[in-house]
Chains A and B, each alone.
Chain A
């Protein structure tokens, strides 16, 4: 029995992860994804756990290498889009990305910004990043796009004085601040503990 759900989570990775885990707890395992579609198949309740990771900063090769590494560990993975864009011939400049991922196109990580990772539940916590240093790096990656948008709208606000640009800059600054607070907290912890 399959079940189709249509959802859009955008950049709310934690909400998407929570929802997938809630579906798994109810006995639905992810089978396929499309733009808005999540197709599930029946499974034992709580048999699988999910994590959603942002890989939009990686080059196509690095993202694929990472995905293959996870598959080799026995996890199942699904690429997922973070934005909705139905235009053809997509090209995006991502100044916050790693060198190989700064120009994102259909052939790279465009529309494959997220990696949904599935693990069979074994009673242990399912974490992909377990050291402070790694968690700080990952949180920094998540902060990047928001910070970039904040800077862009602040720049527009200066060049074309209009309150709407400053409102947008402030809106994009909120998630950037949220991730920054997490980075400060992790850095504080890392001063006396390694992991």
Chain B
């Protein structure tokens, strides 16, 4: 994923996955969360989700949650992941403020 730790933007997929994992979820629930929250605009393929979850696990932004033995793997956001998500929210607020200032009441 093209995520830049040096204050850059997260991809929309990364941000949504992090948001979905504020409460522990397994893969299917993450897919459903993203689809519901975006009204179906963003529908993640299973392969893409698998790669994204593994990348976030490697970065330490999410972690496995609960006992995985005999049931579906669940994940939860870590304190580091929360910090990245909060930083992204701040960036989006700044972006929205700039856009509103320039575009004004554009519809």
Task: Identify A134's interface contact among B12, B26, B48, CB under 8 A.
Answer: B48
- Please determine whether B45 and A130 come into contact, CB atoms closer than 8 angstroms: yes
Task: Identify B27's interface contact among A53, A73, A134, A137, CB under 8 A.
Answer: A73
* Interface, chain B (partner A; CB < 8 A): 1-2, 11-13, 26-28, 31, 42-48, 50-51, 72-73
**Measured CA separation A4–B30 after assembly (Å):** 38
List B contacts of A53 (CB < 8 A).
47
Of residues 19 through 71 on chain A, the ones whose CB sits less than 8 Å from some CB of chain B are 53, 66, 69-70
- Please determine whether B46 and A73 come into contact, CB atoms closer than 8 angstroms: yes
- Please determine whether A133 and B1 come into contact, CB atoms closer than 8 angstroms: yes
Nearest to B42 among chain A residues (CB) is A195
Question: Could you list 6 A-B pairs, sorted by A, with CB under 8 Å?
Answer: A69-B73, A72-B73, A74-B28, A75-B46, A194-B2, A194-B11
Kindly state whether residue A148 has any CB partner on chain B within 8 Å: no
Query: What is the size, in residues, of chain A's interface with B at 8 Å between Cβ atoms?
Result: 22
Nearest to A69 among chain B residues (CB) is B50
Nearest to B73 among chain A residues (CB) is A72
Counted as pairs of residues, one from A and one from B, with CB atoms less than 8 Å apart, the total is 55
- Please determine whether B47 and A72 come into contact, CB atoms closer than 8 angstroms: no
- Please determine whether B51 and A73 come into contact, CB atoms closer than 8 angstroms: no
List B contacts of A194 (CB < 8 A).
2, 11-13
Task: Identify A130's interface contact among B26, B28, B48, CB under 8 A.
Answer: B48
List A contacts of B26 (CB < 8 A).
72
0/1 per residue, A125-136, Cβ < 8 Å to B?
Answer: 101111101100
List A contacts of B27 (CB < 8 A).
69, 72-73
**Measured CA separation A83–B2 after assembly (Å):** 35
- Please determine whether A134 and B51 come into contact, CB atoms closer than 8 angstroms: yes
Known interface pairs A133-B1, A195-B12, A195-B13. Does A73 touch B48 (Cβ–Cβ under 8 Å)? no
Given contact pairs A73-B27, A134-B48, enumerate 20 new A-B contacts (beta carbons under 8 Å): A53-B47, A66-B47, A69-B27, A69-B50, A70-B46, A70-B50, A72-B73, A73-B31, A73-B46, A75-B46, A124-B43, A128-B45, A129-B48, A130-B43, A133-B1, A134-B51, A194-B2, A194-B13, A195-B12, A195-B13
Nearest to B53 among chain A residues (CB) is A69
List A contacts of B73 (CB < 8 A).
69, 72
